[in-house]
Amino acid sequence: MLEASEILNASVLIVDDLEANVMLLEQVLRNAGYTNITGTQNPREVVGLYQAHRYDLILLDLQMPEMDGFQVIEALKEIETGGYLPVLVITAQPGHKLRALKAGAKDFVSKPFDLVEVQTRIHNMLEVRLLYRKLADHNKVLEQTVLERTAELRASEARFQRFTELSSDWYWEQDAEGRLTQSSGPVREMLGLGEAADAQGWNPQERAALEDNIANRRPFLDLIYSRTRADGSIQYLQVSGEPMFDASSRFAGFRGVGMDVTERMKRAA
CA distances from 119 to 29, 34, 57, 63, 73 (A): 7, 10, 13, 21, 22
Angle at 127 between CA 85 and CA 112, to 5 degrees: 75
Please tell me the pTM assigned to this model: 0.54
Q: What is the mean pLDDT of each run of 10 residues along the chain (269 residues)?
A: 87 94 92 94 94 93 89 90 82 82 85 86 90 81 82 69 62 89 83 61 86 89 88 90 89 90 86
* Largest interatomic CA distance in the chain: 106
Burial string for 159-187 (b: 16+ CB within 10 Å, else e) reads eeeeeeeeebbbbbbbeeeeeeeebebeb
| Element (DSSP H or E) covering residue 176 | none
Query: For every residue of 76-89, which 3-state class applies, written as one string?
Result: HHHHCCCCCCCEEE
The radius of gyration of the chain from alpha carbons, rounded to an integer in Å, stands at: 36
Helix 19-31 to helix 115-167 angle (10° resolution) is 70
Query: What pLDDT shows up at residue 32?
Result: 92
**Strands annotated E in 74-219:** 87-91, 107-110, 170-175, 180-184
Query: What pLDDT shows up at residue 162?
Result: 57
Query: What pLDDT shows up at residue 194?
Result: 61
Domains of the chain: 4-141 (3.40.50.2300), 168-268 (3.30.450.20)
Q: Yes or no: say if 170 and 259 are a contact pair by the CB < 8 Å rule.
A: yes
Query: What pLDDT shows up at residue 102?
Result: 86
Interatomic CA distance for residues 202 and 235, integer angstroms: 9
